[in-house]
Amino acid sequence: MHVNQPLTLLGGISPAEFMTTYWQRKPLLVRQAIPEFQALLSRPELFDLAAQNEVESRLVMGTNGGQRDWHMQRGPFKRRAIPKLTERDWTLLVQGVDLHDDRMAALMQQFRFIPDARLDDVMISFATEGGGVGPHFDSYDVFLLQAHGQRRWRIGRQKDLSLVPDMPLKILANFTPEQDWVLNPGDMLYLPPRYAHEGIAQGECMTYSVGFRAPQTGDLARELLVRLSEGAEDTAGCDVYKDATQPAVAKPAEVPQGLAEFAKLALQKSLKDPKALQRALGEYLTEPKANVWFEIGETPNQLRSVYLDRRSKMMYDAHHIFLNGESWRAAGQDAALMRQLANQRCLSAEDLAKASDEAMGLLMEWCDDGWLHSGASIPVN
Ligand code: SIN
Ligand code: CO
């Protein structure tokens, strides 16, 4: 992607300008971000997804914009568990649609001027007249693309983010909207994290939320430390605390100073190797979500061109290639080729001609695992 090229998706500004002016800073409304846009999934297709066990879905019912009577149920939902279309004020939310549908995965490609490490998923919300999830804020950056029908968005910069107590959803107690728009199909609204907003369906409506996760210090530290300690166990099985000099104690409940020092050294040791930390980070960032699995692929006799499965997460750093929670050390021409695969998500026959036997073997293995497919890539609209 050319980051300095103006994009219709961003209302005629370039990704570079968007990132410096709006990203994490302020909202951007783009009329006709995708001109003549039509919903990629029909209503029955969405309801079918909501009926599946491995798809995360929720049903929200609430009074239009009010603070009373919010109800939330978690899926899967059989068709008869979904309210009638003639009933108003309900919303069906289906999460991670990009994992289940190639068209949605292709739509997400348009947002790859933002690092893949930040990309989370696409949620589809379907609502009848008056439906919505109430005034709230998210901890995510989100692009809200109107896919079908109309939704009225009201947004505000408010600092008071206190919530109505005892609700099944996060509902702002004192929502103070400052801007108000009705979005039509193809219109898109970008919101930075913690920006108050409420979207209310005007008639039957579908909205796509392209969401971007940001790691939180505590979660990230825990994930990395678990991975680093697993690596340390392999090599340093006999590093056991020794206290031959421990004197007899009159206060047995007191934690020995030596043990506190040992704990500090143990942590320092696991952080000592910067490559181990980078590896743990890449493996964590590319770990498939819990509800993702791959269908074992067919081993092709020969690879002409390849493309990554829509569920595959592939990234790299200066020393490693990461794919679906695993890592490989890579250097030279093979590393360049694998980085190209990670960035483009496909390789042509011409690209593959440069692969070493070892790289070719790895690509074949990934095809067996269903992480990679032989053939031309999925189309990007
Ligand atoms: C929705 O699409 O109904 C909710 C999306 C959001 O407010 O984040
Ligand atoms: Co929201």
* Distance, CA of 148 to CA of 271 (rounded, Å): 49
Containing H/E element for 127? Answer: strand 119-127
- What atom in ligand 1 is closest to the CA of residue 201? 3
Containing H/E element for 17? Answer: helix 15-21
CA-proximal residue: ligand 1, atom 2 (nearest) = 125
Indicate whether 236 pLDDT > 80. no
pTM of the model: 0.93
Which of 207, 208, 212, 213 has most ligand 1 atoms within 8 Å of CB, for mutation?
207
Q: Which two tokens stand for residue 126?
A: 């379907």
Containing H/E element for 49? Answer: helix 43-50
Q: How sure is the predictor about 381, in pLDDT bands with cuts at 50, 70 and 90?
A: very low
* Distance, CA of 1 to CA of 113 (rounded, Å): 7
- What atom in ligand 1 is closest to the CA of residue 198? 7
DSSP 73-121: EES---GGGSPPTTS-SEEEEE--GGGT-HHHHHHHHTTTTS-GGGEEE
State pLDDT tens for residues 54-68: 999 999 998 755 556
How many helices and strands in the chain, by DSSP H and E? 9, 15
Indicate whether 349 pLDDT > 50. yes
State pLDDT tens for residues 157-198: 999 999 999 999 999 999 999 999 999 999 999 999 999 999
Indicate whether 322 pLDDT > 80. yes
Closest CA to 162 of 213, 200, 196: 196
Q: Which two tokens stand for residue 283?
A: 């493996």
pLDDT at residue 282, as a whole number: 98
* Distance, first Cα to last Cα, the chain: 14
CB 294 within 8 A of CB 371: yes
Tell me the CA–centroid distance for residue 125 and ligand 1, in Å.
7
State pLDDT tens for residues 104-135: 999 999 999 999 999 999 999 999 999 999 99
CB 77 within 8 A of CB 59: yes
pLDDT at residue 233, as a whole number: 62
Q: What is the mean pLDDT of residues 217-244?
A: 83
* Distance, CA of 42 to CA of 233 (rounded, Å): 50
Tell me the CA–centroid distance for residue 135 and ligand 1, in Å.
10
CA-proximal residue: ligand 1, atom 4 (nearest) = 133
The single residue listed with the structure tokens 């029908």 is 149
CA-proximal residue: ligand 1, atom 5 (nearest) = 209
Question: Considering every ligand atom, which ligand is closest to the CA of 137?
Answer: 2
Q: How sure is the predictor about 232, in pLDDT bands with cuts at 50, 70 and 90?
A: low
Residues with CB under 6 A from ligand 1: 91, 125, 132-133, 138, 142, 197, 199, 207, 209
Indicate whether 296 pLDDT > 90. no
**Chain centre to alpha carbon of residue 66:** 30
